Structure 1
């Protein structure tokens, strides 16, 4: 048995799929991983080597649509698949799913699995103009590719329902798993910080669709009422996504003293340990990894009543759900923790319990291997 896993970012293989790749090697399969410039990423390639995964570089641009460049990607994938001859293929994120599944079908790979980890900005709402054109094009491409998949795995039931409603995938091919799971051993429960100001934390790519603007607006509202009782932390970075915030906006928030900005971190455990409440006001997710990390750490969570996010929080139990794009409601949820600080520990403990019961990565990976056809 040979398995090839395709990603659009080398570091994601180590950071988000390492336990899955290890589970595949432990199943007895010969495992290969492919991503752009994987061999040039010393950290990711070393992590792959430690668990016996063979690495391949694939020319794939994570963003943008260029017919000639993307056609070359499909051809390169086809050639590599014909060389490796895997029995099982897994792709995740938009371009690897669309181009990878097509290439695997052309190469005659028997088991072709698409993992839908999120829908991206083009699916967040019906759009017009250039964004509307991109939305329609992506749907056509998904429909063509997923018709050639043998299994399509979703990370929340809302995404599955939307794909079926839009006729992008046949229902009988689909299954839902509990996100990517969380390695509880890597994110042990941590004691809360000492009493004092309540520290709120958001970790995300700095995109409008992650709710960055609502987080800032809510921080401003809370600070107006309690200037010294809350601190707002932001971890993340600006990338080439069309929904990215402006650098000038970030600079102004820092200058105003609304947030403490930590940039992009390779290790998010220290800021999670240092916070009291984790916040993710995202418009839509697959299953948000950072929320699972916060829950495992033993932190209360505020997130949105949006696909993917609402799967992780039971309102009033391990945190609060607020409407999408509603800064006032987000601020009100934050103020509840300031007014009732005992909620922080109680909800944080519930979050840890839910993470252990529902999102343990070893349980999730067992389901993944079964649905990929690797195990019975």
Structure 2
């Protein structure tokens, strides 16, 4: 494919805001090079369509049914994408997250799209083991998803994963044989947007930012916050993210922690920067099958020490003892000890924060990441 020839490029994901937040820089760069960029998403409304058009992209709606195992729903998704790829004469598909990567790649292959990029940003809930392993339902879903990976991913022209564990598990657990696999690392952040600032230590504040899902470790964070507050009432704990009723912590539960003075609950915000800047330490006790958490990359860029787990993706964001601490998944005692270490040694936090920023500059600069992506895309 000639680098000089303008391409019709389809970005196929889920939510519009996630696409713009995580893929926007790359999409703008491609549009600036003269390529026609199509933004495929499932939640368009009049406002978001207008926003996409103002940015120079072309919005395309399609339907996708989350973790549903309904074959008719999946076939509808496949048909919609196939027709859209044909209609818009797509010459390159860039499909990210598990289901879009599966059905987008299959549709692109059927539509004879020349370049088909599949990007797996973490293996997700079917590969996420709780304290007692996978439920029977999730074991079945995992088998189905592995079968779909085997069907779809070899039909991509390149597969991108964010960490070595995902590459290993796709090959060993799902039996996906993909010679053209690129381990990208994080998707990167804009270092100008997430600027480094000194670590505030008075009061010492620990922040959790993300979806308030059990797998993200929110319950472990709350448990440890309660323990540490009993010993060090001056320490503050902040939760930033929307409450949920499925697979996570509900608003009434959070209000009980607020009432007892354990946490300050902020809720969902569009801009996390002020909340990370006003915190001392970023905490993500996740056991979810992450790709490489974007929220942690943002905290690194702002220059915050990080406490996270030894799980896939998470472990790639911390050099233990240098810019933070890694703890075993599901181990609240180890998590508490890491938090107490920060409380008892606030003098270490600034040097840890600088080490975090250095890691962000070396490994998670979105411009460097996009340069690598453009090489993979041959654009």
Distance 1:313 1:357 in 2: 13
**C-alpha contact 2:305 2:349 (8 A) present in aligned 1:** yes
Distance 2:140 2:253 in 1: 28
Equivalent residue pairs, number: 369
Which residue does 2:3 correspond to in 1?
none
**C-alpha contact 2:122 2:291 (8 A) present in aligned 1:** yes
Which residue does 2:353 correspond to in 1?
348
Distance 1:138 1:299 in 2: 36
**C-alpha contact 1:60 1:70 (8 A) present in aligned 2:** yes
Of 218, 222, 236, which aligns to 2:228? 222
- Cα distance, 1:312 vs structure 2: 1.0
Task: Please say if 1:320 is aligned against 2:338.
Answer: no
**C-alpha contact 2:159 2:178 (8 A) present in aligned 1:** no
SS of 2:117's partner is strand
- Cα distance, 1:246 vs structure 2: 4.1
TM superposition score normalised by structure 1: 0.94
**C-alpha contact 1:281 1:304 (8 A) present in aligned 2:** yes
- Cα distance, 1:119 vs structure 2: 1.2
- Measured against aligned partners, the alpha-carbon deviations of 1:19-52 in whole angstroms (never above 9, x if no partner) come to 11112223332211110133x162x445533442
Distance 2:274 2:116 in 1: 38
Which residue does 1:209 correspond to in 2?
215
**C-alpha contact 1:37 1:57 (8 A) present in aligned 2:** yes
Distance 1:196 1:370 in 2: 45
Which deviates more, 69-78 or 247-256?
Answer: 247-256
**C-alpha contact 2:243 2:267 (8 A) present in aligned 1:** no
Q: Give the aligned CA root-mean-square deviation in angstroms.
A: 1.7
Of 230, 233, 242, which aligns to 1:237? 242
SS of 1:109's partner is coil
**C-alpha contact 2:187 2:369 (8 A) present in aligned 1:** yes
Distance 1:168 1:123 in 2: 15
Large movers: runs of 4+ above 4 Å: none
Task: Please say if 1:272 is aligned against 2:272.
Answer: no
**C-alpha contact 1:121 1:243 (8 A) present in aligned 2:** no
**C-alpha contact 1:10 1:41 (8 A) present in aligned 2:** no
**C-alpha contact 1:117 1:286 (8 A) present in aligned 2:** yes
Which residue does 1:20 correspond to in 2?
26
Which deviates more, 57-66 or 100-109?
Answer: 57-66
- Measured against aligned partners, the alpha-carbon deviations of 1:344-367 in whole angstroms (never above 9, x if no partner) come to 111001111110111100110111
Task: Please say if 1:252 is aligned against 2:259.
Answer: no
**C-alpha contact 1:102 1:145 (8 A) present in aligned 2:** yes
The structure-2 alpha-carbon separation of the partners of 1:239 and 1:74, relative to structure 1 and needing over 3 Å to count, comes to farther
Task: Please say if 1:54 is aligned against 2:58.
Answer: yes
Which residue does 2:186 correspond to in 1?
179
Which residue does 2:111 correspond to in 1?
107
Distance 1:171 1:334 in 2: 41
Unaligned runs of 5+ in 1: none
SS of 1:278's partner is strand
Unaligned runs of 5+ in 2: 1-6
